[in-house]
Chain A
Amino acid sequence: MCLAVPGRVVSILEEGDSSLRRAVVDFAGVRREVSLAFTPEAKLGDYVMVHVGFALSVVDEAEAQKIFEYLSEIGEQLEPDSGEAP
């Protein structure tokens, strides 16, 4: 029930009152209307985490990359039985 799915904001439907602000969000080809009431900072092209029709956060893309950068840096030392932990 706490499932939230990332999708890209493809258009913003302005509504004056920020509690009624909505966007069209693309989930790998499937488009849905989503409330931006809780993410007034969301901009066109941003990825948002959507739960039951509401965007709960804007995805921090730089943070999202860090684990993969770390794993690729240490990758070669990490083949099983190649030695001690870095």
Chain B
Amino acid sequence: MKFVDEYRDEQAAARLAELIRRRVSRPWTVMEICGGQTHTILKSGLEDLLPPEVTLVHGPGCPVCVTPIELIDHAVSIAETPGVIFCSFGDMLRVPGSRRSLLEAKARGADVRIVYSPLDALKLAQANPARQVVFFAVGFETTAPANAMAVWQARQLGIENFSVLVAHVLVPPAIEAILNSPGCRIRGFLAPGHVCTVAGYEDYEKLSASYRVPIVVTGFEPVDILEGLLMVVTQLEEGRAEVENQYRRSVRREGNRQAQRIVREVFEVSDRAWRGIGTIPLSGLALREPYRRYDALERFPPSQAPGEESVECIAGLILQGLKKPPECSAFAVRCTPETPLGAPMVSSEGACAAYYLYGRKEVAS
């Protein structure tokens, strides 16, 4: 596939790794924000190419992983309501709630459907006017325009049996929370390329200047990640702290204005709880007027007590880059993709799933 295969070229990757090795003179810890990048790093064994001075830690960029357990439980309750068609991206289905996952609810008879796009859920609502169709609107900035467009179109077309359960989060407040956490040892960041394709990187320039930390907007293939790391290491070695853009083939500084416009039309910035991390001020999106009547929380008010997390799961520490999956006592023993205790074990962007799938059992010192 063009614009994918060439970025997996082994010789190009080896040359970039060699450039990093020549440039680095002392230890640096760098966080890749996005779980998609984490999976590339583990799958391609990029850490084996890097010099020992460069330590990678994995960030919170997995929307499925940071969706609060209460919201998973509420999604299950809505899905089990008679007459409801509950639609979700496939990633959410196996995430453990405190009672059961959406997949288990489906097995017990709930009408849970996997959709590729929020517009598919909207079409289901049009085709089933007697049913309530609820879409689980999960995601970072990348997904917000598509979800906003579905709600906007529902209003334009007068589709009233459609609503969304919103769990939208934003990346820059999460980076700031990580930088403010005590004992933070991260000296540079790879910022997520598709989030920045939508949102641009002006907000990251403020973070980079305030915290004196290099941030490189980076793509998702091995060559992208190694070039991003080379750019971060070069900045660190030269004593610079700027935002640079490795993913120039997709990202422009101002982002995608059309996409931003529909997001601002439908959503407003709000406080959000992050699973395992806690509430981060102004770190999420909520529906604004006149779109609030499409909020599934209004249509199906929560009625149950807050759910309880597994006491053994350390997903919160993993999502903040404070621990790696093999440091968890349950990893690959009591917590596997078939019997998950936490969301990072089942999400295609979860760090635990990446370590489990690609066999990295040891912990880098």
Using a CB–CB cutoff of 8 Å, the interface residues on chain A facing chain B are 1-6, 8, 19, 27-28, 35, 37-40, 47, 49, 51-54, 56-57, 59-61, 63-64, 66-68, 71, 74-75, 78, 80, 84-85
Contact = CB atoms under 8 A, between A and B. Distances in A.
B3 A6 contact: yes
B235 interface: no
The 9 closest A-B pairs by CB, nearest first: A53-B117, A85-B22, A64-B249, A63-B248, A6-B3, A38-B259, A2-B142, A28-B1, A2-B194
Given A49-B194, A49-B250, A57-B251, 4 more contacts: A1-B89, A2-B349, A4-B194, A61-B249
A64 B251 CA distance: 11
Contacts of B61: 2
B16 A71 contact: yes
Contacts of A78: 15, 18-19
A27 B256 contact: no
B140 interface: yes
B12 A52 contact: no
A4 B15 CA distance: 26
A57 B62 CA distance: 22
Interface of B: 1-4, 6, 11-12, 15-16, 18-19, 22-23, 34, 36, 61-64, 89, 91, 116-120, 138-140, 142-143, 145-146, 149, 152-153, 192, 194-195, 197-198, 220, 223, 227, 248-252, 256, 258-259, 262, 347-349
A51 B251 contact: no
Contacts of B142: 1-2, 4, 51, 56
Contacts of A57: 197, 250-252, 256
Among the interface residues A57, A78, A84, which one has the most CB atoms of the partner chain B within 10 A? Answer: A57
A19 B119 CA distance: 13
Contact of A1 (B140, B152, B251): B140
B196 to A, nearest CB: 10
Contacts of B139: 1-2
Contact of A2 (B6, B140, B223): B140
A57 B257 CA distance: 11
Given A52-B116, A68-B6, A4 B18 contact: no
Nearest to A79: B18
Contacts of A80: 18
Nearest to B347: A1
A60 B1 CA distance: 16
Given A2-B61, A38-B256, A52 B146 contact: yes
B8 to A, nearest CB: 12
